[in-house]
């Protein structure tokens, strides 16, 4: 798993609960969507997100060592992202919000997610 995909995977909401194989395909879909959205963003936003990703990767190296980010447990990645966001650097917070919001849009419009929500409401 690429570092970018691993970051988007860690941003996926916990609700609704999805079986692992469904979550993996939703995660791939979300990473594809967010990547495409970033490519459409203005140059200064793209540049900022690139810096943010590099900064997080450096943060992850300090936290997890030289392991590929994709090999780190999803929960650990999510915790690291939260800790990173808690650094409260306004620029990073704004850019993290961009990644998270695009991930949320792709996630909550994925058929598997909508099905899981329906199943949860009407078991």
Partner 1 sequence: MTGATTIQGPTTLTCDALVIGTGAGGASAAATLSDAGVDVLMLEEGPYVPIDQSPQRLSETLPILWRCGGLTATIGGTPIALAEGRCVGGGTEINSAIFQRAPDEVVEGWARANHLPGLTPEALSPLYDRAAAAVNASLTPGDLGPPTEILRRAAEVMNWKVTALERGRRESSSPRHQISGFATGAKQSMSATLIPRALLCGARLVANCRVDRLSFQGRRATGAVAAATDGQGRRHRVTVNASQIFLCAGTTQTPSILLRSGVSKNIGCSFQLHPTVRVLATFPELVNAPGHELPLAAITEFMPGLRFGGSVFTLSTFGLAVAEDWSVRERYLPEYGHCAMYYAMIRPDGVGRVRSVPGLAEPILSYRLTERDWRRLRDALSLLARAMLAAGATRVIPSMRGHPGWTDANRVEPDLRYGLLRDRVALMTIHLFGSCPMGGDSDLFPVDPWGHLAGFDNIIVADGSVLPSAPGVNPQATIMALAYHATDSYLGARH
Integer distance in angstroms from the first to the last C-alpha of the chain? 34
In the complex, the smallest distance separating the C-beta of residue 92 from partner 1, rounded to whole angstroms, is: 12
User: Could you list the residues that contact partner 1 (CB under 8 A)?
Assistant: 13-16, 33, 36-38, 40-45, 82, 85, 90, 93-94, 97-98, 100-109, 114, 117, 120
Distance of closest approach, residue 104 Cβ to partner 1, in angstroms: 3
Least distance from partner 1 to the Cβ atom of residue 55, Å: 18
Instruction: Give the helix ranges, DSSP H, for 12-87.
Output: 20-40, 43-64, 74-85
Q: Select 51 or 108, whichever has its Cβ closest to partner 1.
A: 108
Minimum distance of partner 1 from residue 44's CB (angstroms): 7
Copy the structure tokens of residue 76: 């650990």
Rounded to whole angstroms, how far apart are CA atoms 36 and 31? 9
Instruction: Choose among 65, 50, 62, 66: nearest CA to 7.
Output: 50
| Nearest residue (CB) to partner 1, 75 versus 101 | 101
């Amino acid at each position: 798993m690429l570092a970018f995909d691993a970051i988007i995977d860690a941003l996926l909401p916990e609700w609704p609960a999805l079986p692992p194989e469904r979550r993996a395909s939703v995660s791939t879909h979300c990473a594809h969507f967010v990547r495409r959205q970033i490519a459409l963003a203005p140059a200064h936003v793209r540049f900022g997100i690139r810096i943010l990703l590099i900064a997080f990767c450096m943060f992850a190296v300090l936290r997890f060592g030289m392991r590929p980010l994709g090999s780190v447990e999803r929960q650990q990645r999510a915790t690291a992202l939260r800790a990173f966001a808690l650094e409260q650097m306004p620029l990073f917070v704004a850019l993290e919000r961009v990644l998270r919001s695009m991930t949320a849009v792709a996630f909550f419009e994925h058929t598997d997610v909508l099905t899981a929500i329906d199943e949860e409401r009407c078991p």
